[in-house]
Structure 1
Amino acid sequence: MDAGHEAQPAVAHRRRCAVRRPGVGVSTAASPSAARRWGRRAALAAAAVSGLWALLVALLWWRQEALLFHPRPLPAEHRFEVPADAHEVWVDVPGARLHALHLRLPQPRGVVFFLHGNAGNLDTWFVNTGFYRAQNLDLFMLDYRGFGKSSGRIESEAQLMADVRAAWAQIAPMYAGRQRVFYGRSLGTGLAAQLAAELQPELTVLVSPYFSMAALATEKYPWVPGSALRYPLRTDLALPRVQGRVWMAHGGRDTLIPPDHAQRLQTVQPRAELLLVPEAGHGDIHQHQRYLDALAAALSR
């Protein structure tokens, strides 16, 4: 009996230990549960980030025009401070009426069809008329939809190109047999290159060009998929198809469109001449005498 009574506490002790040990097991069993909770939280966080990314891409898709184009409208009664031989011209296109200024000389040897950048209007772009007069070249400059006195709004690259074609078609008969210069500046370089590939002018001038708008967007916004860009403006595909002379200029201090874009374009069109103006930025290259002298030489050939 004594031995039996002595054995009972030992059994009880082992039972108590057996009861306590599962506590350790509970902690071990909790780890998979915690891992699942963390997994769910991580999945929710990833879904939130993915949703935010998708929302930003969707906004970029629908609001792309607001990011790319910065027009400054003008009232219909606005008077331009231009020489007497510069005339206001209207180009009717589907859904809009486009406004342009046309410098017309008595006996020009040709015309510079100028496609300007993505901001402002003709009030600030139609400058240096004396320079073109000295070259005995007319100057035609168009305001895109929503810019200056032009009505409507830009809705697609196809529409933008159709407007440019319509403007050129309206004045082209005046310059049959004369020098045709398609000039693009910044945004306008992609448009000028595409028009030149279609119509083969004697000279194509691209100032501060981009390799393509798609390439520039990838540099500025690497998180945006290429499929979200509705204005790829593939200068790199158009320029190799241009058969006439190509002259390009770029500012060495251009941070908006780095000069390597022009250098890369020269690799796809080796015949193109390229002038780098080290001290010029993006918006002031036309103020540098080196640029003006080189452009005058290109226009005179």
Structure 2
Amino acid sequence: MPQKLNSTHQFSFWQDFKEMNFKMKDGVLLNGVLFKAVNSKGLIFYLHGNAGSLENWGEVAKTYTSLHYDVFMLDYRGYGKSDGSIFSEEQLFQDNQAVYDELKKKYSENKIIVLGYSIGTGMATKIASTNHPKLLILQAPYFSLTDLMKHSYPIIPPFILQYKLATNLYIKDCKMPIVVFHGDEDEIIYYGSSLKLKALFKPQDTLITLNKQHHNGITDNENYRLSIQKILMER
């Protein structure tokens, strides 16, 4: 459910930011925003959910810039001011990797944290599995889209699903610590998804349950804010 923005649209976030454009191999131009923190300790590479655009997702950046991390957010193809349209899972991964490679020219990987929310969690886990960020943070992740479909729509055969986004497979190749946040009243991605992922955790990985939290609004949850402050202050 992308929100499309005109190419001349002017963002007006109430913090220091810089628009960045990235040309993909097929000529498609992707748009992102880099939010700058005072006395930056590194970068959070943020992969957002399936709806909206940076126009609304950008508002969550202040949670992390206030903790001295720059935040980069990318609009996927067809979202916001990004051109084109999503046509395959592999293309999504290639786009994310191309942009990540560009950001690695500015930030050492030992100062990069990958963060994914909702649909972005599978993509975040994939890119963390094939790179070396210092931390992976997942907000309301699915075990896989196939698993989520079986749970939510059991009468529909899963083979028709175009995008698998198999977080359960990617997570096995993630060498960095992983922190998962999930609301136990999530009505979109069932909480049991994170319990299944927990069974695949390394000893240094953590699941933090947000009591009475629904799918939306995790970043505004008081317990989330306290936890993320502690996590980022330690890194």
Instruction: Tell which has more relative contact order, 1 or 2 (C-alpha 8 A, sep 6+).
Output: 2
**Greater Rg over alpha carbons, structure:** 1
Deviation at 1:145, TM superposition (A): 0.4
Q: Matched residues in 1 for 2:97 and 2:202: separation?
A: 26
Contact 1:143 1:149 (C-alpha < 8 Å) held by counterparts: yes
Deviation at 1:224, TM superposition (A): 2.7
Partner of 2:150: 218
Out of 120, 131, 145, the position equivalent to 2:77 is 145
Contact 1:109 1:178 (C-alpha < 8 Å) held by counterparts: no
Partner of 1:72: 3
Out of 275, 287, 292, the position equivalent to 2:208 is 275
TM-score norm. by structure 1 comes to: 0.74
- Superposed CA RMSD: 1.4
> Which residue identity does 1:209 align to in structure 2?
P
Contact 1:100 1:140 (C-alpha < 8 Å) held by counterparts: yes
Q: Which consecutive aligned stretches of 4+ in structure 1 deviate over 4 angstroms post-superposition?
A: none
Mark the runs of 5 or more structure 2 residues left unpaired by the alignment. Answer: none
Identity of aligned residues (%): 31
Q: Give yes or no for the alignment of 1:297 onto 2:227.
A: no
Q: Give SS of 1:247's match.
A: strand
Contact 2:142 2:148 (C-alpha < 8 Å) held by counterparts: yes
Q: Matched residues in 2 for 1:298 and 1:106: separation?
A: 18
TM-score norm. by structure 2 comes to: 0.94
Q: Matched residues in 1 for 2:86 and 2:108: separation?
A: 30
Partner of 1:86: 17
Q: Give yes or no for the alignment of 1:188 onto 2:126.
A: no
Q: Deviations over 1:163-187 (max 9, x none)?
A: 1111111111111264110000000
- Please list, as runs of the form range in 1=range in 2, the aligned pairs for 1:16-165 lying within 5 A after superposition: 70-83=1-14, 85-93=16-24, 94-105=26-37, 107-165=39-97
Between 84-93 and 117-126, report the one with greater CA deviation.
Answer: 84-93
Q: Give SS of 1:292's match.
A: helix
**Cα pair distance change 1:219/1:177, threshold 3 Å:** closer
> Which residue identity does 2:6 align to in structure 1?
P
Structure richer in helix, relative to its length: 1
> Which residue identity does 2:200 align to in structure 1?
V
Partner of 1:53: none
Q: Give yes or no for the alignment of 1:248 onto 2:194.
A: no
Partner of 2:195: 263
Matched residue count:
232
Deviation at 1:107, TM superposition (A): 4.1
Contact 1:95 1:152 (C-alpha < 8 Å) held by counterparts: no
Q: Give yes or no for the alignment of 1:237 onto 2:195.
A: no
